[in-house]
């Protein structure tokens, strides 16, 4: 209606496109489009959900004390500096909501996660896109883009959809040289897949301007439960807590996450299988003439010779019941992102890409 207008920035938002989960007319689909754990959730998480299902009429915990304690124990962190959200997306949203608004700038990288731009627009701030170097985040480019309006800098490490990452020394250099009013947000949605990487937890401990975000949606196999968390300086976490809805996480989600993080056997198996199958998949694709970037996460970015070829391959894969992710919106039109599935799915997608390269359409 004339006169009724949304807040500034809202109409700039391009709707987020999630990974498809079905293809019309095709049954027995292999879904490799959303970086989910192919081994599913921990059996302990499923049992925990069954135990609380009869309590659906009860409101959940408002302070998430038990889940925060479990996260703190497993990661060696201070529970008082953890905040939980409906997926890590919600924690990213808290950060934008609390720290950015009209006239402010929010930095994200060229091939960075799509939500950064959406969330910046949603609060009326201006997203600033910074070029990467050969699909790797460039600290120099980010620092060159900073100014006195910069409020948040988002980097995913490992990055989605490239799978690449930068080292802690580079991240530290970035944090060190940011303008004083800016927060560095280290999105560690895939951090658990990297042996020996703490997602930036140590950096959070040593600095006042870094927040780390993590998720239960990937390695822990709980994408459908929507649980994520953030870790940061106490002053920042206290600010975020003021805008969090008191009952943001359901009681089933809370117990599932707590059980999942304590099931170290499931976590270890998922991590090991992912490393092995990721290496296998990357090599099998390379043998078929499809190179990929050195991924550190649970997906590979398969590179084709042109956008047309990537598009044709995706169409062929769909006709074979395999769903991967087009990443055109991430300025990678000649690439397809393929989640590392279980062994049968990896074999199937590699086989079909081989057939496609050999001329099948």
Of 240, 228, 235, residue with least CA distance to 207: 235
Q: Are 288 and 328 in contact (CB under 8 A)?
A: no
- Beta carbon of residue 247, minimum distance to ligand PMP (angstroms, whole number): 18
Of 285, 262, 42, residue with least CA distance to 163: 285
* Nearest CB to ligand PMP, comparing residues 89 and 172: 89
CA distance 122 to 89: 13
- Beta carbon of residue 227, minimum distance to ligand PMP (angstroms, whole number): 7
* 132-137 long-range Cβ contacts below 8 angstroms, 24+ apart: 132/162, 135/111, 135/162, 135/164, 135/293, 135/301, 135/332, 136/162, 136/164, 136/166, 137/109, 137/112, 137/164, 137/166
* Nearest CB to ligand PMP, comparing residues 301 and 352: 301
- Beta carbon of residue 189, minimum distance to ligand PMP (angstroms, whole number): 4
* Nearest CB to ligand PMP, comparing residues 183 and 352: 183
* Nearest CB to ligand PMP, comparing residues 137 and 352: 137
Closest residue to bound ligand PMP by CB: 87
**DSSP E strand boundaries for 197-347:** 210-215, 228-231, 299-303, 322-323, 325-326, 335-339
- Beta carbon of residue 60, minimum distance to ligand PMP (angstroms, whole number): 18
Q: Are 229 and 253 in contact (CB under 8 A)?
A: no
* Nearest CB to ligand PMP, comparing residues 94 and 113: 113
- Beta carbon of residue 161, minimum distance to ligand PMP (angstroms, whole number): 8
* Nearest CB to ligand PMP, comparing residues 156 and 352: 156
Could you list the residues that contact ligand PMP (CB under 6 A)?
Answer: 87-89, 113, 156, 160, 187, 189, 215, 217, 223, 228
- Beta carbon of residue 64, minimum distance to ligand PMP (angstroms, whole number): 15
* Nearest CB to ligand PMP, comparing residues 209 and 215: 215
- Beta carbon of residue 229, minimum distance to ligand PMP (angstroms, whole number): 9
**DSSP E strand boundaries for the chain:** 30-31, 82-85, 105-109, 126-130, 150-156, 183-187, 210-215, 228-231, 299-303, 322-323, 325-326, 335-339
């Amino acid at each position: 209606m004339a006169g009724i207008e949304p807040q500034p920035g809202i109409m700039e938002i391009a709707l987020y496109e999630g990974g498809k989960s079905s293809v019309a007319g095709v049954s027995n689909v292999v879904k490799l489009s959303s970086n989910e754990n192919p081994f599913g959730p921990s059996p302990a998480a499923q049992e925990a959900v069954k135990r609380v299902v009869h309590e659906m009429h009860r409101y959940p915990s408002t302070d998430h004390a038990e889940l925060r304690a479990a996260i703190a124990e497993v990661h060696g962190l201070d529970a008082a500096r953890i905040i939980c959200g409906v997926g890590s997306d919600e924690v990213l949203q808290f950060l934008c909501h609390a720290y950015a608004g009209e006239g402010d700038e929010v930095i994200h990288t060229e091939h960075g996660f799509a939500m950064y731009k959406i969330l910046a627009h949603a609060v009326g701030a201006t997203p600033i896109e910074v070029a990467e170097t050969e699909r790797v985040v460039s600290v120099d480019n980010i620092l060159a883009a900073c100014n006195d309006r910069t409020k948040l800098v988002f980097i995913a490490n490992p990055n989605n959809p490239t799978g690449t990452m930068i080292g802690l020394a580079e991240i530290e250099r970035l944090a060190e040289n940011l303008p004083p009013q800016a927060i560095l947000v280290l999105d560690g949605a895939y951090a658990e897949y990297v042996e020996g990487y703490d997602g930036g937890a140590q950096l959070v401990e040593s600095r006042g301007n870094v927040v780390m975000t993590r998720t239960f949606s990937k390695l822990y196999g709980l994408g459908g439960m929507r649980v994520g968390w953030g870790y940061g300086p106490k002053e920042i976490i206290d600010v975020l807590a003021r805008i969090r809805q008191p009952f943001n996480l359901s009681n089933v989600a809370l117990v599932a996450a707590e059980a999942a993080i304590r099931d170290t056997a499931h976590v270890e198996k998922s991590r090991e299988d992912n490393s092995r199958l990721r290496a296998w998949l990357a090599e099998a694709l390379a043998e078929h003439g499809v190179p990929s970037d050195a991924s550190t996460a649970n997906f590979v970015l398969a590179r084709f010779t042109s956008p047309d070829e990537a598009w044709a391959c995706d169409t062929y894969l769909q006709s074979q019941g395999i769903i991967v992710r087009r990443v055109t919106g991430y300025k990678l039109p000649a690439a397809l992102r393929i989640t590392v599935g279980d062994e049968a799915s990896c074999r199937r997608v590699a086989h079909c890409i081989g057939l496609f390269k050999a001329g099948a359409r």
